[in-house]
C-alpha cells in the first residue's frame, strides 16, 4: 500500500534543495569545518604557549608542526577557525537583517520610502567595497578593533547588493492577490510582511545569508592579512598575517600557512556548493526541472511497486 505525502509535508520539501552528490559534499565540508571550529578548541592545548621547538614540521607530538616561537599550529588553527566562523555568522546575520529591512520593507511601503532606500543602496553599491572597509578599519584604533567592530564594518559595507535582490523579489510578491486581500482586510504592515511576503522570500534570504558568510570570511581574512583585523581575537586571517611576518614562505614552513588557507578555501567551496543548490529553488527554470524530475522518480517508483505486486500475485498479472 502506497502512503502519499500530505500537501503540507510536500510543500516543506519544495523549500529544500534536492540532495545530490555535490550538495552532500558541500554539506560535509561545511559541517566538518564547523564542528572542528566548535569542538576543536576544547581538544587542543594552549595556542599561545611558547616552546623551544621553533619551526618543527608535523610530527606525532605536533600534528601540524610549530611556529617560530614553538606554538602549536593545530591549536592555533582550531581557535582561529572558531574566530572566523564567529565573524562569518555575525556578519551574515547583520547583513541579512539590513538587506531585508531596506529591501523588503522599502519595496512594500513604496513611494518616498522605497526611493530613499533605493538611493541609499545605490550609493553603497557604487562605492568600492574593499577600499571603504580598509578606510573604516584604519580609522578605528587598534585597541578598539574587536570582533564585533570588524563584523559591523563588514556588514555595513556588504548589505546593498542583497537589498537590491530582495527589493526586486518583494515588488513581484507585493502585487499578488493574497497580499492585496490582506491589505484590504486591514492587516497591519508588519503582519503582511511577516506572514504573506517573507515566507515566499525565504530561499532568497537563505542564499543571500550564505553569500554574506562567504564574503565576510574572505573580507576578514584580507583585513587581517594586511594588519587591520580584530586585535583581541584569533582568526584564520591573523594566522596568515603572522605566518607572513614570520617569513614562513621563504623558510619553507608550509605547515604554518597552508592549513589556514586550505580551511578558508574548503569552507568557501562548501558554502558555494550549498548556495548553488539553493539557487535551484529560486530559479523558476531549475525549479520546474526539479519538479519534473521528482514526478519522474515518483512514477518510476510506482511502476516498480506495481511490477513487484504483479509478480507476487499471479491473479493480478492475469488481469
- The secondary structure element, H or E, covering residue 27 is helix 21-43
Name the more confident of 230 and 32.
32
Beta-strand ranges (E) seen in 18-70 are none
Highest mean pLDDT out of 10-19, 75-84, 187-196: 75-84
Q: Over 90: is that where the pLDDT of 137 sits?
A: no
| Average pLDDT score over the chain | 83
- Mean pLDDT of the region 300-313: 75
Task: For residue range 58-109, list pLDDT tens digits in order.
Answer: 988 889 999 988 899 999 999 999 999 999 999 999 999 999 999 999 888 8
Is residue 169 within 8 Å of residue 179, measured between CB atoms? no
DSSP letter (8 states) at residue 312: H
Helix ranges, 147-188 (H): 147-156, 160-174, 177-184
Task: For residue range 206-217, list pLDDT tens digits in order.
Answer: 889 999 999 999
- Mean pLDDT of the region 189-213: 87
72 forms beta bridges with 66
Name the more confident of 46 and 187.
46
Reduce the DSSP state of residue 13 to 3 states and report it: helix
Reduce the DSSP state of residue 66 to 3 states and report it: strand
Residue 206: which of 122, 118, 280 has the closest Cα? 280
Q: What is residue 292's predicted lDDT score, i.e. its pLDDT?
A: 62
Reduce the DSSP state of residue 44 to 3 states and report it: coil
Q: Over 70: is that where the pLDDT of 13 sits?
A: no
The overall longest dimension of the chain from CA atoms, in Å, is 86
C-alpha cell belonging to residue 104: 523588503
Residue 100: which of 187, 35, 165 has the closest Cα? 165
**CB atoms inside a 10 Å sphere around CB 292:** 10
The C-alpha atoms of residue 69 and residue 304 are separated, in whole angstroms, by 65
Amino acid at each position: 500500500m502506497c502512503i502519499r505525502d500530505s500537501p503540507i509535508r510536500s510543500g516543506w520539501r519544495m523549500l529544500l534543495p534536492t540532495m545530490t552528490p555535490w550538495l552532500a559534499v558541500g554539506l560535509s565540508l561545511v559541517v566538518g569545518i564547523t564542528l572542528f571550529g566548535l569542538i576543536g578548541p576544547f581538544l587542543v592545548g594552549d595556542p599561545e604557549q611558547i616552546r623551544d621547538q621553533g619551526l618543527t614540521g608535523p610530527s606525532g607530538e605536533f600534528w601540524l608542526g610549530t611556529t617560530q616561537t614553538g606554538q602549536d599550529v593545530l591549536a592555533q588553527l582550531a581557535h582561529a577557525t572558531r574566530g572566523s566562523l564567529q565573524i562569518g555568522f555575525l556578519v551574515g546575520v547583520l547583513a541579512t537583517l539590513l538587506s531585508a529591512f531596506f529591501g523588503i520593507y522599502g519595496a512594500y511601503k513604496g513611494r518616498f520610502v522605497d526611493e530613499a532606500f533605493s538611493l541609499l543602496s545605490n550609493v553603497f553599491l557604487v562605492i568600492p567595497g574593499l577600499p571603504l572597509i580598509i578606510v573604516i578599519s584604519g580609522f578605528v584604533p587598534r585597541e578598539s578593533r574587536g570582533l564585533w567592530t570588524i563584523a559591523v564594518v563588514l556588514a555595513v559595507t556588504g548589505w546593498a547588493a542583497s537589498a537590491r535582490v530582495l527589493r526586486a523579489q518583494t515588488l513581484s510578491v507585493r502585487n499578488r492577490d493574497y497580499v492585496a486581500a490582506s491589505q484590504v482586510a486591514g492587516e497591519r504592515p508588519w503582519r503582511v510582511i511577516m506572514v504573506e511576503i517573507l515566507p515566499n522570500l525565504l530561499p532568497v534570504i537563505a542564499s543571500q545569508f550564505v553569500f554574506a558568510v562567504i564574503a565576510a570570511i574572505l573580507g576578514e581574512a584580507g583585513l587581517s592579512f594586511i594588519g587591520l583585523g580584530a586585535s583581541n581575537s584569533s582568526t584564520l586571517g591573523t594566522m596568515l598575517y603572522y605566518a607572513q611576518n614570520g617569513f614562513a614562505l621563504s623558510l619553507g614552513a608550509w605547515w604554518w600557512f597552508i592549513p589556514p588557507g586550505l580551511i578558508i578555501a574548503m569552507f568557501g567551496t562548501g558554502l558555494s556548493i550549498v548556495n548553488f543548490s539553493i539557487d535551484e529553488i529560486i530559479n523558476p527554470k531549475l525549479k520546474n526541472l526539479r519538479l519534473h524530475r521528482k514526478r519522474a522518480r515518483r512514477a518510476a517508483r510506482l511502476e516498480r511497486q506495481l511490477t513487484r505486486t504483479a509478480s507476487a500475485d499471479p491473479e493480478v498479472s492475469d488481469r
